[in-house]
Chains A and B, each alone.
Chain A
């Protein structure tokens, strides 16, 4: 009896505690937390927020890369010379984590070939180049007035089919992120309007000008995630206008706009989750593991356009900024617009231009070819003068000052990583959690010795990944080698078994023969056998024609081989360069055969000579 009351009281206690936790969570929901580390670089956002989001004339050629973000490259659906309409799907997703690509403008496909793309390597990648026409006609779209009438699967398919990828950073395909996952229930949807990188104001301007659409998009996202308890729109407090418009737009909904102190990198997914929910995404886990899904405001807007108007992702708002430009603002750019065209439209002074950065000054990458196109993840084109972003001074020795460790938002020890990266101690690097580094650049930013720390980490990460791939490959090679050895051994064994069996059979036959012949010579059985043997011998003899015949046959082979050899040789002299390689191979083959024939012929002749003697 007493145990029952105890148990119930324990249960009560537990439920009371749960209630307390829920109450506390509810109370602190709107009180943003903080993450460790972080830096306070100058914001540099005012330059590009003075003007509304603008438009520029359409570029002559739109270069649409097939690989624009994390995941597999898309597979082209169009042919060279084909006319495409704006919004038409020109490449299909390849696999789950991949996005289809749509024509950002109507026109003619003039090339499907490797082109320079916006990638820090400066390497080429496959692109579809569209020569734009004047009419810019949209293809027929598939609008939907009430998204709630659609099934989740249909909605997801729609988002996927419109090629929506995260517009904030790495560009993870949105449909994958929004797809329900069996084990994890999502209780929080975070809309990332933090935009912590200096210079970039694309999300800021989008929130200022298109808050209603963003909120409509958030509604779709919330619906997709089965209406999570909390829907938080996080915005850094250096964007008061965006906060105000967003607050107005969410009025009357259950969404909350949370503003928090400006600190880089608060816009990192993990950091934002920590700020807004005080939860930490486990390492090698996903936000979903702690009940959170995070989407960028730009993505919410794109989802809204995709679902309600059926519009695929063919343009995005990009900040065009930097003192080398006469005009600095945000523009809505069709995907595939060459960077050079964008810069030209903003009055770039190439003499002052010392680098072009895709993305912000903290995490963006510089490109050395202005012809690279804008892609889905291009949130900023930064064209600074030398004076604005001077190149780093030569690196000095690390003095272990520890500033880097203090600003690291994921509490790594950047200086230890630096030593190990220099020494290529890969095990140590992994022990010090190199792969938790988000490459935000805070450590390099504060380093008094101006050591390019992030570059070391990127190089080491790449080297480790490559080494792991090689290890995997070598393990596979070992397996294949072992298997091959096994297979050969088995084949050998099988042959051996057969040989043994034949030998035994012959033995038995001989024994039987002896037994049979010894006692009763000339019996019917023995006679029969002898007949068989004689017949076989006769057959063999018949097949083995007379030496003269054999010689004649060989002679024929030899002449035909010679002929063939000469023929090919003649062809070779007349052939074009492309055919020559093939012919040469044939020639070689003919030569080999000729040699074989000659050898045999010679052998035969010698044999005959021997026999005659």
Chain B
């Protein structure tokens, strides 16, 4: 009996000891290396374009980031477009869906532009701008700080005299870079595009590049 007990007690004690030790270690690590906040939300938020436009149905980018982490679809951000969806899919390790057309379609980058002679100085757009990118005061003309405008579109609707329009943001000479060459020998991407000769390649270049 005693022999049997000692035969089983040694491994039991050892295993128990190890379990205790690791338990203590894990407990310590949990306290010592506790992660503040939800880093995944931060990571998702960092990938979103921060237009704060609300096209996803959330009041700003961060709420949408939180919703994504909670399981919402990642294809509801038209300003970010496919690039953002791909980046999110990469981060969250899932298949990249295409943009959900219900929330808008991908468009060129735009910024708000106030036709200044028409502005009546109502300050309604100032209140609508999520990033304080419009300057002006009551009864004074307003104007958009182009560098800060996210192109969210939120200032257009409140304007009582419709003097705000969204103009495409043009690239400058300094920002310009050549387009990626179109490849006649393009591989997978062009496989779905049907017949492709070296001359025809030009026609599909855009899609090939994308």
| A-to-B contact residues, CB < 8 Å | 67, 117, 119-121, 123, 125, 394-397, 421-422, 449, 451-452, 455-456, 458-463, 465-466, 469-470, 473-478, 480-481, 483-484, 581-582, 584-585, 588-589, 592
Contact = CB atoms under 8 A, between A and B. Distances in A.
A473 B147 CA distance: 8
A288 B206 CA distance: 43
Instruction: Provide the main secondary structure of the chain B interface.
Output: loop
B173 A67 contact: yes
A599 to B, nearest CB: 15
Taking residues whose C-beta sits less than 8 angstroms from the other chain, chain B's interface range is 35 or more
Nearest to A585: B118
A584 B162 CA distance: 10
B118 A395 contact: no
Nearest to A463: B177
Nearest to A459: B180
Given A477-B51, A478-B50, A481-B131, A459 B179 contact: yes
Contacts of A473: 147, 150
Contact of B177 (A465, A478, A588): A465
Nearest to A592: B160
A263 to B, nearest CB: 27
A592 B122 CA distance: 12
Contacts of A475: 50
Contact of B117 (A123, A449, A585): A585
Nearest to A477: B50
Contacts of B180: 421-422, 455-456, 459-460
23 contacts: A120-B176, A121-B173, A123-B176, A397-B185, A422-B180, A422-B183, A452-B181, A455-B180, A459-B178, A462-B175, A462-B177, A465-B177, A469-B175, A473-B147, A473-B150, A477-B148, A480-B132, A481-B50, A481-B130, A481-B131, A582-B117, A584-B118, A585-B118
A114 to B, nearest CB: 10
A481 B132 CA distance: 8
B51 A588 contact: no
Interface in B99-145: 115, 117-120, 130-133
Nearest to B122: A589
Given A474-B49, A585-B120, 4 more contacts: A455-B180, A461-B177, A466-B177, A478-B50
B92 interface: no
B185 A462 contact: no
Query: Interface majority SS on A: helix, strand, loop or mixed?
Result: helix
A480 B48 CA distance: 15
Contact of A119 (B120, B131, B173): B173
Q: Which of B61, B117, B133 has the most CB of A within 10 A?
A: B117
B91 interface: no
Nearest to A449: B185
A458 B131 contact: no
Contact of A466 (B147, B173, B175): B175
B185 A588 contact: no
A125 B170 CA distance: 13
A58 to B, nearest CB: 27
B160 A589 contact: yes
Contacts of B62: 478
Given A466-B175, A581-B115, A484 B131 contact: yes
B177 A458 contact: yes
B181 A455 contact: yes
Which has the most chain B C-beta neighbours within 10 Å: A125, A422, A463, A469?
A422
Interface of B: 45, 48-52, 60-62, 115, 117-120, 130-133, 147-148, 150, 160-163, 171, 173, 175-181, 183-185, 187, 198, 201
A565 to B, nearest CB: 14
Nearest to A126: B173
A422 B161 CA distance: 47
A473 B133 CA distance: 12
A122 to B, nearest CB: 9
A478 B161 contact: no
A499 to B, nearest CB: 21
A481 B154 CA distance: 13
A325 B105 CA distance: 52
Contacts of B160: 588-589, 592
B177 A480 contact: no
A395 B184 contact: yes
A481 B52 contact: yes
A480 B133 CA distance: 9
B52 A458 contact: no
Contacts of A125: 173
B173 to A, nearest CB: 5
B177 to A, nearest CB: 2
Q: What 10 A-B pairs come out closest when comparing CB atoms? A: A462-B177, A585-B118, A474-B50, A477-B50, A480-B131, A121-B176, A459-B180, A394-B198, A478-B50, A452-B181
B22 to A, nearest CB: 36
A159 B24 CA distance: 71
A394 B184 contact: yes
Nearest to A393: B198
A585 B177 CA distance: 41
B163 A585 contact: yes
B139 to A, nearest CB: 12
Nearest to B171: A466
B113 to A, nearest CB: 14
A367 to B, nearest CB: 13
Contacts of A121: 173, 176, 178
Contacts of B178: 120-121, 455, 458-459, 462
A23 to B, nearest CB: 48
Contacts of A465: 175, 177
Given A462-B175, A484-B132, A592-B160, A478 B45 contact: yes
Contacts of B117: 581-582, 585
Given A474-B50, A581-B118, A585-B120, A481 B148 contact: no
A291 to B, nearest CB: 31
A394 B181 CA distance: 11
A465 B45 CA distance: 21
Contacts of A421: 180
Nearest to A579: B117
A470 B118 contact: no
- Identify the interface centre among B173, B187, B198: most chain A CB within 10 Å of its CB: B173
A466 B52 CA distance: 20
A179 B161 CA distance: 54
A120 B178 CA distance: 8
Nearest to A581: B118
Contacts of A588: 160-162
Contacts of A581: 115, 117-118
A447 B203 CA distance: 25
B131 A395 contact: no
A439 to B, nearest CB: 11
Contacts of B49: 470, 474
Contact of A481 (B60, B171, B175): B60
A65 to B, nearest CB: 10
Most interface-central of B51, B119, B131, B132 (chain A CB within 10 A)? B131
A582 B118 contact: yes
A582 B115 CA distance: 9
